[in-house]
Chain A
Amino acid sequence: MKILTCPINGPRPIQEFHFGGSFRPLPDLDDMTDDQWADYVFNRNGEPGVKTEWWYHTASGVWFLADRNNETDEVVRTYLYQPESTDV
């Protein structure tokens, strides 16, 4: 079983986690067209590579971010969400 490191609880088996999809910063709503909004809502970047993703440690209720290579399943780092430091 794969191990994921929760920034709060340390390394835990992946079954304790819930995958929250890719991290997508909320866009500036005032400054976008409906089409741009639809793009934000539906479209994803599914290409291979290192992606920033939301993960949730179910047992403790911790949301955090993981930079993970979606081809090799290698987790580069996990960290808590900080609004200013996560402009991706």
Chain B
Amino acid sequence: MPYRLLKYALSRSYSEPRMFRSHDKPKSEYDVVIIGGGGHGLAAAYYLAKEHHVTNVAVLEKGYIGSGGTGRNTAIIRSNYLTEEGVRFYQESVDLFQGLSQELDFNIFYTQRGHFTLAHSPASLRIQRWRAEVNRNMGVESEVVGPSFIQKQVPELDLTCGGHQAPICGALYHPPGAIARHDAVAWGYARGADKRGVEIHQQTAVTDIEVRDGAVIGVHTNHGFIKTRKVLSTVAGWTPSVTRMVSLRTPLVIHPLQAFVTEPLKPWLNHIIVSASLHVYVSQSTRGELVTGASLDPYELISMRSTLEFAETLSGHLLDLFPGISSVNVLRQWAGLCDMTPDFSPIMGTTPVTGFFLDAGWGTWGFKATPISGKTMAETVVKGCNHPLIEPFKLDRFRDFRLVGEKGAASVGH
């Protein structure tokens, strides 16, 4: 038992301070206003304060911190992307994640589990090889493995899928694949930012952004007007409402992504298992729940309702893979919002509006980018020009027909 816990037993009263201060009202002016108190916004605030000593920063959150995608995703972290731009970016994120508990002095339960992307056809395996080769070339641990390797690592998996699906013929194996406690990431960054002077204002909604001569001059909130020359929007699924305030158009469309957890079970699943063709991903949390999700809901919706069809389909696919868990109980369904882009890559960086910075398009890949997006956006906000890692993700790419090729992997024909 670590000695850090001894203090609780030895002191009569509970002496832990507030992790983040509560403020009555925002001040009338900040150097930077961040809209959205999710992981990305809080991480950006943290790195602004820590690395750039910009501490006159307000994070405005209309609900509570971590209430959006941060607390609703299935907390998978990996860097086995398809494009060089993607791999480079996410690998930096993984590197940061690996030291994040120590950096934030807060245990985010970053747990390396190893990540399998199962292929049920030679065509799918080909795509996995593509990813593996790009990863390997970028120094990311990633390889195509055969059925016997998979079976040895995950004995509970039925490679034949019980005849319900095409059998598993191989997988992309990414040993660094990890999970983490998603809320803790937000809270850790919030505490770190708060400690350095950043103000986090919950229940504070931005109602409009004031732009004069093509430059931001402030934001209107439900607590009044705030003067600022720099606004960073990190609101994922709510981005279209914010970009409208500055008359920016984006390709974002919002789809719900659903998930469910089972009751806690004793540990048996030690890896993160993804099936590209069944659109299933599942891992077992430290608490013992199976945390599992599937593909996006098929139509646009800015609502976090659940559907029964989702639970039915996902359960069926889970049992195709793990036939021995049919009596395991599903506890709770939920949903989050995904701001999808046409090329499955984020939209980051400067915009045509001076002082308005965008961090959006996080689709289904936002959580795993939390540290690196915070870090690169902080630098971008300070310098006013894009950090090299995010240059490929700039909004202009759609005007210029220079999309990122991440969607290439989605073509599994024939």
**Chain A contact residues, CB within 8 Å of chain B:** 1-2, 15, 18-19, 21-22, 35, 38-39, 42-48, 51, 53, 70-73
* Inter-chain contact total with CB atoms closer than 8 Å: 62
Q: List 29 A-B contacts (CB under 8 A).
A: A1-B308, A18-B298, A19-B299, A19-B300, A21-B253, A22-B300, A38-B400, A38-B401, A39-B399, A42-B251, A42-B398, A43-B398, A44-B251, A44-B253, A45-B249, A46-B250, A46-B252, A46-B339, A47-B240, A47-B244, A48-B241, A53-B299, A53-B300, A70-B254, A70-B302, A71-B301, A72-B303, A73-B301, A73-B305
Separation of A42 and B401 alpha carbons in the complex (Å): 9
Q: Is the CB of A43 within 8 A of B305?
A: no
| Nearest B-chain residue to A55, judged by Cβ | B299
B222 within 8 A of A: no
B270 within 8 A of A: no
Closest 4 CB pairs of A and B: A46-B240, A19-B299, A42-B398, A43-B249
Q: Which of B251, B300, B400 contacts A43 (CB 8 A)?
A: B251
Interface residues on B, range: 20 to 34
CB-CB < 8 A to A73: which residues of B?
301, 303, 305
B309 within 8 A of A: yes
Separation of A5 and B239 alpha carbons in the complex (Å): 30
B307 within 8 A of A: yes
CB-CB < 8 A to B400: which residues of A?
38
B139 within 8 A of A: no
CB-CB < 8 A to A45: which residues of B?
240, 249
Other A-B contacts than A43-B398, A44-B251, A46-B250, 19 sampled, CB-CB below 8 A, are A1-B308, A2-B307, A15-B309, A19-B298, A22-B253, A22-B300, A43-B250, A44-B252, A46-B240, A46-B252, A46-B339, A47-B244, A53-B299, A70-B254, A70-B300, A70-B301, A71-B302, A71-B303, A73-B301
